[in-house]
Structure 1
Amino acid sequence: MLFDTHAHLNDEQFAGDVPETIERAKEAGVTRIAVVGYDLASSIESIKIAKRYGSVYAVIGVHPHDAATLDGDTLTKLRVYAREPEVVAIGEIGLDYYRNLSPRQIQVDAFRTQIHLAKELKKPIVIHDRDAHEDTVNMLRSEQAGENGGILHCFSGSWEMARQCMSLGFHISIAGPVTYHNANKLLEIAKLVPLDRLLVETDCPYLAPHPFRGKRNEPARVRLVGEKIAELRRISLEQLAEATTKNALTVFEIK
């Protein structure tokens, strides 16, 4: 039974078929899904979806692309919404120096503010890091951001970065790129991360695994991610699923 720890069923690409998408996931053995917000509106939508469907959970926060929208009013609303029972983490938050859709200092400020919010609420964080590895690790260390645990989602850093993040209290989540032909670094990390620190995700509708690359991704396809990692580690898919689901339940404090 797999847990897709990072899905955007709140994305407009799923506007017409969320129930069918969740049903396909169940048929593929994906029994739990975390729906992740990236701004206030999508965070609210993630809660609505989680309330509507069993075994679906909400993660709420403001993505670095939208960091400039994190004003006092938005922060106050996130604090209120975070107390809904379906909300299991604050995210996705972090830094994105690849697209730079918000000025870097505003990204840094929004990241720090939401780490503080998560610590106040005693919730884990879900981190987006793209081309900002050093600043991300420095922030996590300086703010003691792993106090309540968290996830480096769609991990793209080095093994050394993974080691540092795990030492700070974080889990490493691997997505569809592990199935790509040019993913040598990620293949090694998928083998090296201790099984009790490993998670799987789709980041759907993005990053569909091979052979669906370029098409809309969905939670059912986290099975392909799991199969690839199990093959690399020379264990069964059942072992991989049991371990990663247990890890997700631990991180998100789901009973």
Structure 2
Amino acid sequence: MTERRRAGGIPLRAIPPNAVTALALCFGLSGVLFAIKGDWEKALASVVFAGVLDGMDGRIARLLRANSRFGAELDSLSDVTAFGVAPTLIMFLWSLQHAPKFGWTAALALAVCCALRLARFNSRMDADEQPHKSAGFLTGIPAPAGAGLAFVPVYLWLITGNELFRAWYLTMPWLVFIALLMISSVATYSWGSLRLRRSYRLLALAGVGLLVAALITEPWLTLLAISTIYLALIPFSMASYARVRRRRSAQG
């Protein structure tokens, strides 16, 4: 009976985090449906909410001690769908379908690079030596961040109403740039590496509350600001990792 249970199912405590992962996948694909209907705000909101759920499932799994290989594989499939396939289709329908050539190719770059990034992550999952991870950094930008950054032209269009930001000749190089960042070896900051002093924790809670309020009242302007700050931090994360690597070399 025990052997059959192990082979045929997952523990009950593993259902909540995997359900959240499946919900993130559904929201990502729902963004495509809204894009087909031309409801761009709901399309973006669906993918952004999928990113919020993606940040929750792993924490729920750790809280319930429900980490599993099944959950990791489901999470990767959900990520490549919600943050690779869905943004690809949304950006193509929004702008790149009007490109005379290579519009679909540029859009595909986002999905392909997202899949390659996740495959690279999965192949290193059991590796003993992961220099960036052991130092508290990520390699390249994660899939949810890549999807959010890919939408920067849409944020600008929604904020200003200027059709220039919808032009394929601006959207195409931007998507390719973000796709390359996803598979790059650039060291980026990881949420898990952040450590707050006790004296700053109340300020952090207040900041989170204000951020949520800003997302509710001015979502696109807030997401644009977050995207700008994230990109601006990349040179600092590269410099921080370089210092860590030099320090480790000196100690070794």
TM bracket (short chain)? under 0.3
Instruction: Give the TM-score of the pair, scaled to structure 2.
Output: 0.28
Choose 1 or 2 for highest CA Rg: 2
Q: Normalized per residue, which structure has more strand? A: 1
